[in-house]
Amino acid sequence: MNNRLYSKGQLMSLDACTGCAACVEACPAVGASGDGRLSGFYRLDWRRRAGAGRLRRLFGGRPPGGEAWRAFSETVFRCTLCGNCAEVCPAGIGLKDLWLNLRQELVDRGDYPAKVEMIGENLAESRNVFGEDQEDRAEWVEDLDEPPDDLFIKEQAEVVYFTGCVASFFPLAQQIPVALAEVLEAGQVDFTLLGEDEWCCGFPLLGAGSLPAARELIEHNLEMVKAKGAREVVFACPSCYMMWREHYPEAGLKLSHATQFLDGLLASGRLPLRERELTVTYHDPCDLGRAARVFEAPRRVIRALPGVALVELADNREKCLCCGGGGNLEMIDQALNAKIAGRKVEQVLATGAEAVVSGCQQCLRTMATHARRNKLPLKVMDVAQLVRASLDI
């Protein structure tokens, strides 16, 4: 084992597993595929048996060879990193962080799915995860009914709206920044975009087991935000938000997810609203809910909108089912990604809600794609879109 990648607590946690299989029951990948090798229990057990010295002597046998490691890596990377296994672990093992370090160990060994390399190549060449032209990062602004002359790119502003790669380049998700920008305008918020100076936050590299490679991205983004003189950075993407909170150095900036920022605007009465009858359910994104513990702000936003009724999913808040869109799974195993999304949408439809609302571009993409492909009568919206539809302007 490459001990330098793991804390002492993590090394001890390999022996702390009680074998209760709670993580197996909670894993969306196992539930959708029926493959127990995708569970946290399997990973811990396999890695423990592959350990050096005393542990390997205890379990017997020779250390695994290259083919075994490569097969193991396929199970490690077919994970959404949703964190539900850590949520239910009675031993309190920090499983999500362990999976991230395990991915990094596999990358260091050279045992990882080939598609993972595409992430690093795209970011190195184009500074966004899709390999698109950076000049088009703020092109979505032109979809507004009345785009401003400055395209929301100012030299100085109080707030920076960090759009993220998915919402910047993926057509389905571009509806979110359009809606949020119009809401910020209605609330008279002094905000700016970074435009082509916004680089990927680095989260895809974290999920790919290549966090050290994100240093240049992190340093650049901080420099660009500071140059704007901003006091706050707002993210509609929970993964960008989580990445900045946990892996960017402290820079005296307030970091807010869009649902938190919208909650503040509504509480201060800065948004003119009209009544709109609609019954919705709310899907807690994994990186916003379980990871950041932001559960109530989006619900307060929904309840503040006249005529909008909220019904809860059978599994909500920290127990919310993953949509299948995280952990770079869509790139590694698109079929499994779709199966997880299908289980999620089934639970959404069981609520009888007309729409499912979330606070994540990837969640919107995953659920909306499944609903469209299967011709299901379900609207999929971001919280920002729901607020925009309720504005009296």
278 and 250 within one domain = no
Of 334, 342, 263, residue with least CA distance to 305 = 263
Of 210, 223, 233, 203, residue with least CA distance to 325 = 203
CB-facing half-sphere around the CA of 39: CA atoms within 13 A: 20
Question: Taking 50 as the threshold, does the pLDDT of residue 145 lie above it?
Answer: yes
Question: Taking 50 as the threshold, does the pLDDT of residue 101 lie above it?
Answer: yes
Helix, strand or coil, per DSSP, at residue 1: coil
Question: What is the Cα–Cα distance from 32 to 100, expressed in whole angstroms?
Answer: 22
Q: Which residues pair with 253 in a beta bridge?
A: none
* 115 occurs within a structural domain: no
* 114 occurs within a structural domain: no
- C-alpha angle 12/13/14, rounded to 5°? 90
Q: How far apart are the first and last CA of the chain?
A: 60
Token pair for 23: 């993580």
**Highest averaged pLDDT of the listed ranges 8-12, 63-67, 177-181, 247-251:** 177-181
Report whether 38 contacts 29 (CB < 8 A). yes
Query: What's CA 356's distance to the chain center, in Å?
Result: 17
Q: Which residues pair with 284 in a beta bridge?
A: none
pLDDT score for 300: 98
CATH (domain of 313): 3.40.50.11810
Question: What is the Cα–Cα distance from 254 to 239, expressed in whole angstroms?
Answer: 16
Count of structural domains within the chain: 3
344 and 211 within one domain = no
Over residues 312-344, the pLDDT tens digits come to 999 999 999 999 999 999 999 999 999 999 999
73 and 137 within one domain = no
Query: What's CA 132's distance to the chain center, in Å?
Result: 20
User: pLDDT band at 166, cuts 50/70/90?
Assistant: very high
The percent of residues in the chain predicted with pLDDT above 90, rounded, is: 87
Question: 236 or 10: which carries more pLDDT confidence?
Answer: 236
Question: What is the Cα–Cα distance from 305 to 392, expressed in whole angstroms?
Answer: 11
255 and 300 within one domain = no
* 14 occurs within a structural domain: yes
126 and 54 within one domain = no
CATH (domain of 18): 1.10.1060.10
311 and 185 within one domain = no
Of 234, 264, 294, the one marking the end of a domain is 264
Of 80, 109, 138, the one marking the end of a domain is 109
Contacts of 108 (CB under 8 A, 6+ apart): 2, 5, 209
56 and 30 within one domain = yes
pLDDT score for 139: 95
User: What pTM does this model have?
Assistant: 0.94
Report whether 272 contacts 256 (CB < 8 A). no
Token pair for 332: 């590694």
Over residues 15-65, the pLDDT tens digits come to 889 999 999 999 999 999 999 999 999 999 998 888 743 444 444 556 777
Report whether 328 contacts 119 (CB < 8 A). yes
Report whether 310 contacts 299 (CB < 8 A). yes
Query: What's CA 181's distance to the chain center, in Å?
Result: 21
User: Domain residues for 35?
Assistant: 3-109
124 and 258 within one domain = yes
161 and 210 within one domain = yes
Question: Taking 80 as the threshold, does the pLDDT of residue 95 lie above it?
Answer: yes
